[in-house]
Amino acid sequence: MTSSDDQGQAFAGAPPRRVVSLVPSLTEAIAATAPELLVGATDWCTHPAGLDVARVGGTKWPDVEKVLTLRPDLVVGNAEENRDEDVAALRAAGVPVWMTAPATVDQALDSLDRLCAVLGTPGPAWLCEARAVWTDPPQVAPATAVVPIWRRPWMVLGRDTFAGDVLARLGVHNVFAGSPDRYPRLAKDDPAAVQAKLVVFPDEPYAFTADDGPEAWPQARPVFVSGRHLTWYGPSLVEAPGVLIARLGG
């Protein structure tokens, strides 16, 4: 079979038998679909619990040599989480790399569908369920929000992000959705942020807490959510609408 990843890179031939994942959400997806294929994952791959595979470092700084010693016939990565130079090094060593880059829920579902087909396990039950759930997801009363992802400096979700589309599908409008940047930097008193009724704090990549974050946005209601449900695309998509709505609805 021949298929292409989200960047148009073709993968041809028989389904892989040894896969290394450099993305936590894709690690969970592969483990839920074809766990026997997974031979390596990053140190940040926390799901499923008790995953027993070789660890190859972080998403931004994987140990390329260690990946190669695992003899993968496919490495899966993400355009935002993984560095171009690491992807290039793996390909130069003859290892196929499948890259994902979804900016919407629908793109994520289609991307996962192609990946599962390449793995030789098309249409897993969890993916079918996720597609059904997101066909008509529940919604909160319409609200505006700002979504910080980092501080020192403050960075927020901007345009064309998967997490922004997740929130939009649930009735939450990101006030920075029209920004020219995908992850704009701003000061805490940025005028656009004052429009927000909610401040949605994910627990990754920065671990915001009740004592670290809300003080910068006193005009808005803080909402703390799981990064796994807001930013991961994989089996967590099945429960994400219900989990997020429970938090966003106050």
What confidence score (pLDDT) does residue 194 get?
A: 77
pLDDT-based confidence at residue 50 (cuts at 50, 70, 90): very high
Q: What's the average model confidence in pLDDT over 184-202?
A: 86
What confidence score (pLDDT) does residue 155 get?
A: 94
Q: In this predicted model, what pLDDT tens digit does every residue of 52-98 receive, in sequence order?
A: 999 999 999 999 999 999 999 999 999 999 999 999 999 999 999 99
Does residue 206 surpass a pLDDT of 70?
A: yes
Does residue 189 surpass a pLDDT of 90?
A: no
Domains and CATH numbers, the chain: 2-131 (3.40.50.1980), 143-248 (3.40.50.1980)
Average pLDDT in the chain: 95
What confidence score (pLDDT) does residue 250 get?
A: 62
Residue 165 token pair = 């589309």
Q: In this predicted model, what pLDDT tens digit does every residue of 123-161 receive, in sequence order?
A: 999 999 999 999 999 999 999 999 999 998 999 999 999
Does residue 2 surpass a pLDDT of 80?
A: no
Does residue 187 surpass a pLDDT of 90?
A: no
What confidence score (pLDDT) does residue 1 get?
A: 64
Does residue 236 surpass a pLDDT of 80?
A: yes
What confidence score (pLDDT) does residue 191 get?
A: 77
Does residue 18 surpass a pLDDT of 90?
A: yes
